[in-house]
Amino acid sequence: MIAKGLFYFDKKNRLRWEYNSPYKYTILLNDKQLTIVDNGKVSKIDAGKNDTFQKIQGMLTRTLQGNVLDGNDKFSYELFENDQQTLIKLTPVDKEIKGYISGIDLYFDKKT
Domain locations in the chain?
1-49
pLDDT at residue 70 tops 70: no
CA nearest neighbour of 73 among 88, 53, 95, 101: 95
Work out the average pLDDT over 28-47: 84
Q: Is the overall model pTM greater than 0.75, yes or no?
A: no
Which residue has better confidence, 52 or 80?
80
In sequence order, the 6+-apart residues with CB closer than 8 A to the CB of 88 are 68, 69, 77, 78, 79, 80, 105, 106, 108
User: What's the pLDDT at 68?
Assistant: 63
In sequence order, the 6+-apart residues with CB closer than 8 A to the CB of 48 are 31, 32, 54
Work out the average pLDDT over 89-108: 83
How far apart CA 81 and CA 56 sit, in angstroms, is: 25
Q: Which amino acid is at 104?
A: I
